[in-house]
Amino acid sequence: MRTLTLRTASIPVLGQGTWRMGESSRDRRAEAEALRAGIDLGMTLIDTAEMYGEGDTESFLGEALAGLRDRVFLVSKVYPHNADRARLPRALAASLRRLRTDHLDLYLLHWRGDVPLGETVEALEAQVRAGTIRAWGVSNFDADDMEELRQAGGGACAVNQILYNVTRRGPEFDLLPALAAQGIAVMAYSPVEQGRLPRTGALAAVAARHGATPYQVALAFTLRHPDVVAIPKAARLAHVQENRRAADLVLTAEDLATLDAAFPPPRRKTPLAML
């Protein structure tokens, strides 16, 4: 699979989200199998957060990734209210315990809260020095937040994880170019709009040209940017396999024009949306 080079590592452009996984004991086994199948298919970037299931998803991953830790690029996120110099080390230690690992490959501030950005940056950098995280980044930061982060000493930020997909193109106006200019990778969350993509219309028309599905077209659309990776969540094996194939789907200029007509690119600034 194509990879993208972060400041610290090379990651596959297609990873796996885990929101709402591991919350029901009935589904855990099938979810773990789907996740591991995705890893075997090269989707080795795994995204989670202390928020998901209030730790239950991280605990589920600790089990599901047993024996596979060295093969995955593991991402978790800290709650904004835990992002100060006293709480962040404790929140990280709890995440590591649940995930049964001694380090994260990437640790993100889940969204902006009341803790001064400079303090969060210092707390994150201390963990990089300690070896408990390899890199850090942010999530749900709009262009003005990124500028404040830069001024607060956040030059080492590796990633901004944001809501971006074919039906939510707002970030194309200013945020994606700003991040590209700073060498910060974009991690597109909810890349298939949480399973609510239209199955008819432009996505279906483009899909028909390639013998693909509308979901694969949506993922290929997101991945057409060289600086963007996508982290679809799929608890069903068939979805995991389908999503993996999307990484090899290359959209033509005609396809992109069809999608532009149905989902027009932004012509003015719109505030970054969040799910």
Binding site for ligand NAP (CB under 6 A): 17-19, 47, 110, 139-140, 161, 189-195, 215, 231-236, 239, 242-243, 275
Residue 176: count other Cβ atoms within 10 Å of its Cβ: 21
The whole-angstrom separation of Cα 24 and Cα 18 is 13
- The helix/strand/coil state of 19 is coil
Minimum distance from CB of 165 to ligand NAP (Å)?
7
Minimum distance from CB of 126 to ligand NAP (Å)?
23
Tokens representing 162 are: 């944001």
Q: Which is nearer to ligand NAP, 18 or 258 (CB)?
A: 18
Q: Which is nearer to ligand NAP, 147 or 193 (CB)?
A: 193
The whole-angstrom separation of Cα 66 and Cα 70 is 10
Tokens representing 143 are: 């262009």
In which residue are the tokens 């999608």 written? 259
Q: Which is nearer to ligand NAP, 178 or 229 (CB)?
A: 229
Minimum distance from CB of 82 to ligand NAP (Å)?
15
Q: Which is nearer to ligand NAP, 125 or 242 (CB)?
A: 242
**Exposed, middle or buried by CB within 10 Å (0-12, 13-18, 19+), for 118?**
middle
The whole-angstrom separation of Cα 146 and Cα 241 is 35
Catalytic residue among 52, 107, 189, 215: 52
Number of residue whose CB is nearest ligand NAP: 17
Please indicate whether residue 52 is annotated as part of the active site. Answer: yes
Minimum distance from CB of 241 to ligand NAP (Å)?
9
Minimum distance from CB of 49 to ligand NAP (Å)?
7
26's CB contacts (< 8 A; 6+ apart) are: none
Cβ(92)–Cβ(127) below 8 Å: yes
Q: Which is nearer to ligand NAP, 1 or 130 (CB)?
A: 1
Query: Mind telling me the catalytic residues?
Result: 52
